[in-house]
Amino acid sequence: MMRMTGYPAAIIATMLATGEVKSSGAQCQESIVPGERMIAELRRRGVESEEFSSEPGAPAP
């Protein structure tokens, strides 16, 4: 679980340093970082994810 604290921070820091993300100040990462880009960077680091959708109140698969 520790890597899931550091990986997103490192990814966003890199995006800020390279100018890929231009926001300043305190921001929610969900609003400034493209989700697909974040997932791609996490996968590059060996973190797998699975996406699914369901109706509200329905049990998760």
pLDDT tens digits, 30-48: 888 999 999 999 999 999 8
Mean pLDDT across 47-54:
84
Predicted confidence (pLDDT) at residue 59 exceeds the cutoff of 90: no
Question: Can you list the positions of beta strands (E) in the chain?
Answer: none
Report pTM. 0.72
Q: Is the pLDDT of residue 61 over 70?
A: no
Provide the angle, in degrees to the nearest 10, between the axes of the packed helices 3-18 and 35-44.
120
Is the pLDDT at 1 greater than 70? The verdict is: no
